[in-house]
Structure 1
């Protein structure tokens, strides 16, 4: 398969690439350090990316920016960043990318566990994660030429370690990547794949 992977330089993106690269052609896209440069916050940039890459069998997004911050302190700009980048950036991958997906192909987006298990400081992140999961469920009802799903990772052990957090409740990037492989190779459509459910 020819797979366009957005967010290739991130912890999860690297792990997904490693899992798929042996059998599939990976086109690496990202904000920097990638074969194809794309800014998820810009619809024009997303459009140019697809024009440059052309037809693909699958699109995987492990990208998207949203800030943590207390409800009292989150600014308009921080809410807008989450909405423009992690939410609409990934929505636009579907809206603008659908014409470039091979018949029977797939698009896999990324939300996160905070949509359903919020924590203090996660207001903006939880908001866009929940919206992405609802978008996928609804949009899938009107899409029949390719499959659309979203992976919901929990905290990744490698990221937790970098942040000085206890890694006990996390999942490794390699195990997280298994959910993306399942989304690309499976038959589900309109589903939210919780990463821990796909470890084995």
Structure 2
């Protein structure tokens, strides 16, 4: 299979690439340090990426910036960071990518535990995560040519625990390997419209 991984230079992205590249052709995409540079907030950049890669069997997204901060101080502009960076970015990768994905191919998006288990300062991120899950569920019944779509919802990672422990009090972090395996399940499995929770 020919698979594009967007966000391939991040902690989750690297783990996904390591699993998939053993048996498949993986093209890495990220803002920098990857095979192809792509900015998820730019329609032109997404279109250019697809023109470079041509036809593919799967698109995997392990990226998307979201705003974190107290609700009482959050501005509409702050919230737009999440909408542009994670919600619209992923939706546009699907909308612009349909014609580039082969029959029976797939999209895998990323959500996150905060939509189900909220934390302080996470309202904006939780909102876009929930939006992505709803989009995936709805898109699954309309995608043409047997193209599948799923999302993966990771918990906070063990590998990032030192950085985020104060935000996720009482959570049990998960190893990135488990999260990457959920992405593999989405790409190589047969299900569609699912949100794989790695909690």
Task: Report the TM-score, using the length of structure 1 for normalisation.
Answer: 0.94
The aligned residue for residue 153 of structure 1 is: 154
**Residues 152 and 195 in structure 1, CA contact (< 8 A), matched pair in contact too:** yes
The aligned residue for residue 171 of structure 1 is: 174
Give the 5 Å matches for 1:10-49: 10-49=10-49
Structure 2: how far apart are the matches of 1:193 and 1:184?
12
User: Residue deviations 1:105-159, cap 9 Å, x none?
Assistant: 1000000011111111111000000000000101111114210111111111111
The aligned residue for residue 80 of structure 1 is: 80
**Residues 178 and 195 in structure 1, CA contact (< 8 A), matched pair in contact too:** no
Count residues in correspondence. 196
Q: Tell me by how many angstroms 1:167 deviates.
A: 9.3
Task: Report the TM-score, using the length of structure 2 for normalisation.
Answer: 0.94
Q: Tell me by how many angstroms 1:21 deviates.
A: 1.0
Distance of aligned partners of 1:49 and 1:171 in 2 relative to their CA distance in 1, 3 Å threshold: same
User: Residue deviations 1:14-64, cap 9 Å, x none?
Assistant: 111111111011100001111100111111111111011111100000000
Structure 2: gaps of 5 or more residues:
none
Structure 2: how far apart are the matches of 1:168 and 1:113?
10
CA RMSD, 1 decimal? 1.4
The aligned residue for residue 119 of structure 2 is: 119
Structure 1: gaps of 5 or more residues:
none
Structure 2: how far apart are the matches of 1:30 and 1:167?
32
Structure 2: how far apart are the matches of 1:50 and 1:24?
18
Structure 1: how far apart are the matches of 2:171 and 2:80?
32
Structure 1: how far apart are the matches of 2:165 and 2:144?
44
- Higher mean Cα deviation, 117-126 or 163-172? 163-172
**Residues 154 and 171 in structure 1, CA contact (< 8 A), matched pair in contact too:** yes
Q: Tell me by how many angstroms 1:168 deviates.
A: 6.6
Q: Tell me by how many angstroms 1:162 deviates.
A: 3.6
Structure 2: how far apart are the matches of 1:32 and 1:154?
25
Structure 2: how far apart are the matches of 1:7 and 1:38?
9
